[in-house]
Amino acid sequence: MSSSAHGTTPYYFVPGPSRHPAMAALGLFFVILGAGQWVNGAEWGKYSLLFGMAWWLFVLYQWFGDAISESVSGQYSRRIDISFRWSMSWFIFSEVMFFGAFFTALWWARAHSVPALGSLDNAILWPGFKAVWPSLAAGVTASPAGTVEAFTTMGPWPLPTINTALLLTSGVTLTIAHHALLVNNRSRTIGFMWATVLLGIVFLFVQGYEYHHAYSELNLKLTSGVYGSTFFMLTGFHGFHVLVGMLMLLFITLRLQKGHFSADNHFGFEGAAWYWHFVDVVWLGLYILVYWL
């Protein structure tokens, strides 16, 4: 199980053969198969999708359970801890690139695509088009006339600002929880972790209400031209990341209640905290570039 041993902890833990990767891949196969068939009108597709999701989640439950057992049994040495930190760092870097692509698409649409549509050549094709980004002028859609229904843009007040306050506050409560863990104050850690999870849940509810408001009152939809597509893709993917981060923090909190983690061994906590702070930073970019500008 290890290349060499140092006391009771392996120098470098190497897990034995596992069925989990193959089983997880099988579950994802049914997810993709079902989703593809469902959107193409096959009624059985949704059942394949649900079966695949249930299968995949069950495999993850077992897989994570094995990893937790390995951790609490002392199998992970300092070298493993370092490898986890590098892995999480690269994962967050990939997420930075992911959101960077969407932010770049937003910038390109505003700085290049919309002005290009308003050029002299395109004026012949779309004489009524106004080359103005929708958030800068009322009544424009940033799309050729007649191709997109009229809509109202989503401003920063009040819902996005409320969500900004919620996420920033959650970053503070998470930091307080971390500092409490560093001094082995478990009750304080758990209390502020639950506060962080609750703030994440409230954020998701507010964003859900924001989407309802956008669709029902502003007529702002995913099909509302380039503005609508970039708005919902950016905020939607961010909301999904908030959901994932909130679930990570929830599981960490439950593990804390079971007595897991200590002041000198808690990378699971730190990894989830890194991810949550990353989500906070992305939201600040969204708040400025999508809602204000």
Q: Are strands 5-6 and 9-10 parallel, antiparallel or unpaired?
A: antiparallel
More confident residue, 94 or 126: 94
Mean pLDDT of all residues in 113-119: 82
Count other Cβ atoms within 10 Å, centred on residue 217: 9
Inform me whether the pLDDT recorded for 6 exceeds 50.
Answer: no
What does the pLDDT read at residue 4? 39
Neighbours of 203 (CB within 10 A): 24
User: Is the pLDDT confidence value at 2 over 50?
Assistant: no
Cis amide leading into 21 (omega within 30): no
Distance CA 226, CA 244 (A): 27
Domain 1-76 -> CATH class = mainly alpha
- What six digits make up the tokens of 220? 């702002």
For the chain, the domains span 1-76, 80-292
- pLDDT reading at 9 higher than 80: no
Whole-number pLDDT of residue 140: 80
Q: Give whole-number Cα distances, 79 to 1, 75, 261, 273, in Å.
A: 15, 11, 17, 21
* Residues 142-191: tens digit of each pLDDT: 777 667 888 999 999 999 999 999 999 999 999 999 999 999 999 999 99
The pLDDT of residue 150: 85
Measure Cα distances from 279 to 62, 68, 147, 154, 224 in Å: 27, 25, 34, 21, 26
For residue 141, is pLDDT > 80?
no
pLDDT level of residue 3 (50, 70, 90 thresholds): very low
Residue 112: Cβ-neighbour burial (10 angstroms; 0-12, 13-18, 19+): exposed
Helix 186-216 vs helix 225-257: crossing angle, to nearest 10: 160
Q: How high does pLDDT run on average in the chain?
A: 90
* Mean pLDDT, residues 202-209 taken together: 97
Lowest-confidence region among 32-41, 59-68, 132-141: 132-141
Q: Could you give the CA distance from residue 98 to residue 96 in angstroms, rounded to a whole number?
A: 5
Residue 16 scores a pLDDT above 90: no
Catalogue the E-assigned strands of the chain: 5-6, 9-10
The pLDDT of residue 128 is above 80? no
pLDDT of residue 120: 63
Domain 80-292 fold is Four Helix Bundle (Hemerythrin (Met), subunit A) (1.20.120)
The amino acid at residue 23 is: M
Tell me the mean pLDDT in the region 83-109.
Answer: 95
DSSP string, 148-175: S-------STTHHHHHHHHHHHHHHHHH
Task: Out of 55-59, 84-88, 117-121, 198-202, pick the least confident.
Answer: 117-121
Q: What percent helix, strand, coil does the chain show, rounded to 5? A: 70, 5, 25
At 78 the pLDDT is 85
Count of CB atoms within 10 A of residue 205's CB?
Answer: 11
Beta-carbon contacts of 12 under 8 Å, excluding residues fewer than 6 positions away, are 2, 3, 4, 77, 79, 80
